Amino acid sequence: MLPKKHFLYGAIVAVFLFFLPFVNFWESLVFLVSTVLIDVDHYFYYVSKKRKYDIKGAYRWFKAKEKLWKALQPHDRKHYYTGFYLFHGIEWLIIFFLLGYFCNSIFYFIFLGMLFHLILDWVMQERYSYPYRFKFSVIYDYFKFKKLRLIE
């Protein structure tokens, strides 16, 4: 899902949160920002692979990868991966939840924003057969992707 859709859906939920009696403006804003900024790992991945810092170039690169993925036969897709996205995993959710519990409740809103983002990604993948594989664990993906080829 593109960041602008994450922002739109995140803004709707953030406004809803803001009107709850126990959520303030900053907490709802943190929720919104974390809903969108989790995707910075896509840009980091682009920079690590291409050694370029062009945001528009990153967007075009990912769109081209998506097109290549869609051109593959479904049975061939199991041999490829589209990228390694560091923040798209349950490990980060656990970390931010624990930080919320032990440190400051603001981390709960980061946790909720990231969780909301991942849920949107998972729903979109199921609904539209989107090219990126189901992301659950960064650690699992790391070891799984070592056996696959990067689609380029």
The tens place of each residue's pLDDT in the chain, 152 residues long, gives 788 899 999 999 999 999 999 999 999 999 999 999 999 999 999 999 999 999 999 999 988 988 887 788 877 877 888 788 889 899 999 999 999 999 999 999 999 999 999 999 888 777 655 545 556 788 888 887 788 888 87
Structural domain span for residue 12: 3-150
Number of domains in the chain: 1
Q: Tell me the C-alpha to C-alpha distance, in Å, between residue 64 and each of 39, 58, 143.
A: 18, 10, 25
Contacts of 9 (CB under 8 A, 6+ apart): 35, 116, 120
**pLDDT on residue 131:** 47
Can you tell me which residue has the tokens 């909720």?
112
pTM of the model: 0.86
**pLDDT on residue 114:** 96
